[in-house]
Amino acid sequence: MRGGLWQLGQSITRRLAQSDKKTIARRCYASEADLKKTVLYDFHVANGGKMVPFAGWSMPIQYKDSIMESTLNCRENGSLFDVSHMCGLSLKGKDAIAFLEKLVVADVAGLAPGTGSLTVFTNEKGGAIDDSVITKVTDDHIYLVVNAGCRDKDLAHIEEHMKAFKAKGGDVGWQIYDERSLLALQGPLAGSTLQFLTKEDLSKMYFGEFRIIDINGSKCFLTRTGYTGEDGFEISVPSENALDLAKAILEKSEGKVRLTGLGARDSLRLEAGLCLYGNDMEQHITPVEAGLTWAIGKRRRAEGGFLGADVILKQIADGPSIRRVGLFSAGPPARSHSEIQNENGESIGEVTSGGFSPCLKKNIAMGYVKSGLHKPGTKVKIAIRGKTYEGSITKMPFVATKYYKP
């Protein structure tokens, strides 16, 4: 997916949004006025944010810092992202867990209250509808955040199944947090910076944990998670307090935590080996193929009971026919849809996302190859613009993750 220089602003949006071609076309040609704005829109513009259409929203792709600088600064100091385009919601009711377990692969019942996990919403064929971080707040309250680009589809899917579930007497309802904004604070200074703004002892709050606490004077949903591979938080804040919170975070870090856009967010998540839904995971890709078997709880493997369980459990038993892998390559960065070949030049798969790693100073990519050819060290060729370049399959993450764990 590439364009001429004049399409610059659009190209990354396309690369980030991709998947459904019709949707992309609509996104790309949506006029500025049709785009939704987060409450921080003016703040982004005032700080030099270069706004681009993304999943129906006008979002900053970068600020004054280049993508390279922003990526490095996140790992050295910290980054603040506005991710209010993502959709936060709660499922509440005494059967909320039983309901959600029909739709996702996680062992939600087995989560300790106040903890969460990455999970996958599946369809009847075992393919991924979306990936999502879910938190069991209490036994009758689940909090989750779904992708902006999947919002309509996810909510329709949840609603349809919720109706059927309730018709059979199940107790579950939802609350969608459109009145809240979502900030992601990531990087080594995330904890110490946020600690200035809350009385809660954050040193006792570990990766994957969730709390509802007062931050900078307002009631926030705090999750120690992120999409960069660094320690950090996602903070759901009442929208009227979002601007104050963003300013306070930047100020308390003494300028070291910097506003960071979607461009560096993509580099960071790629370096961390994390999937971008729509690129690295789609309707026809199962969590097993995507390398997320670890997210399918032991009990769920034994019992099934989620959409597509028959397909997924069979894949766990027999092994999937394709697998998501990491790649290093020479030459130009391998972007999505580049063909992956074996050493004889035969096609063995396709790159799903890739780019130049600001931290490693070399090309990294992820993609899917046939099982058996997925082992780290396997030599491959990657076809780009009619030429092939040397590559090899490698373990992910590309850059070591630094999650805050006990």
Partner 1 sequence: MALRMWASSTANALRLSTSCRPHFSPLARCFSSVVDGLKYANSHEWVKHEGAVATIGITDHAQDHLGEVVFVDLPDAGGSVTKATGFGAVESVKATSDINSPISGEIVEVNSKLTETPGLINTSPYEDGWMIKVKPSNPSELESLMGAKEYTKFCEEEDASH
Binding positions for substrate: 234
CB within 8 A of 383, min separation 6: which ones? 338, 339, 340, 341
Q: How far apart, in whole angstroms, are the C-alpha atoms of residue 12 and residue 262?
A: 9
- Verify cis geometry, omega within 30 degrees of 0, for the bond prior to 60: no
Among 7, 138, 175, 347, binds partner 1 (CB under 8 A): 7
Distance between CA 368 and CA 352 in Å, rounded?
7
Q: Which stretch binds partner 1 (CB under 8 A): 11-19, 74-82, 168-176, 280-288?
A: 11-19
* Closer CB to partner 1, 187 or 261, in the complex: 261
Contact 398, 360 (CB under 8 A): yes
Nearer to partner 1, 14 or 136 (CB): 14
Judge contact between 230 and 402, C-beta under 8 A: yes
Distance of CA 368 to the CA centre of its chain: 18
Burial class (CB in 10 A: 0-12, 13-18, 19+), 393: buried
Chain residues 306-335 in contact with partner 1, contact rule CB under 8 A: 330-333, 335
Q: Which is nearer to partner 1, 6 or 294 (CB)?
A: 6
Residue 50 in the binding site for partner 1 (CB under 8 A)? yes
**Residues within window 266-295 making contact with partner 1, judged by CB under 8 A:** 267
- Answer for which of 26, 94, 125, 362 binds partner 1 (CB under 8 A) is 362
Nearer to partner 1, 65 or 130 (CB): 65
**11: region left, alpha or beta (phi > 0 left; psi from -120 to 50 alpha):** alpha
> Other C-beta atoms within 10 Å of 336: how many?
21
Instruction: Quote the least distance from Cβ 18 to partner 1, whole Å.
Output: 13
> Can you read off the two tokens belonging to residue 274?
């994390």
- Name the residue nearer to partner 1 (CB basis): 58 or 117: 58
Closest CA to 351 of 364, 367, 363, 362: 367
Shortest distance, position 273 Cβ to partner 1, whole Å? 18
Kindly state whether residue 385 participates in binding partner 1, applying the rule CB under 8 A: yes
Selected binder of partner 1 within 64, 94, 125, 219 (CB under 8 A) = 64
Q: What gap in Å lies between CA 332 and CA 2, rounded to an integer?
A: 13
Closest CB 344 distance from partner 1, rounded Å:
23
- Name the DSSP letter for residue 209: B
- For tokens 């280049």, what's the residue? 66
Site residues for partner 1, 159-198, by CB under 8 A, read none
Q: Which listed residue (20, 69, 140, 200) binds partner 1 by CB under 8 A?
A: 69
Provide the angle, in degrees to the nearest 10, between the axes of the packed helices 67-76 and 262-271.
Answer: 60
From the CB of 175, what's the least distance to partner 1, in Å? 37
**First vs last C-alpha separation in the chain:** 42
**Number of shown-chain residues binding partner 1 (CB under 8 A):** 37
Q: State the minimum distance, in angstroms, from the CB of residue 54 to partner 1.
A: 14
Q: Does 3 bind partner 1 (CB under 8 A)?
A: yes
Nearest approach, Cβ of 131 to partner 1 (angstroms)? 24
Binding mask 137-156 for partner 1 (x = CB under 8 A): --------------------
d(CA 369, CA 321): 9
Q: Interface with partner 1 includes 6 (CB under 8 A)? A: yes
The reply on whether position 2 binds partner 1 by CB under 8 A is yes
Question: Which whole-number Å values give the CA distances from 98 to 22, 91, 108, in the listed order?
Answer: 35, 11, 8
> Given the rule CB under 8 A, which residues bind partner 1?
1-9, 11-12, 15, 48, 50, 61-62, 64-69, 71, 263, 267, 330-333, 335, 355-356, 358, 361-363, 385
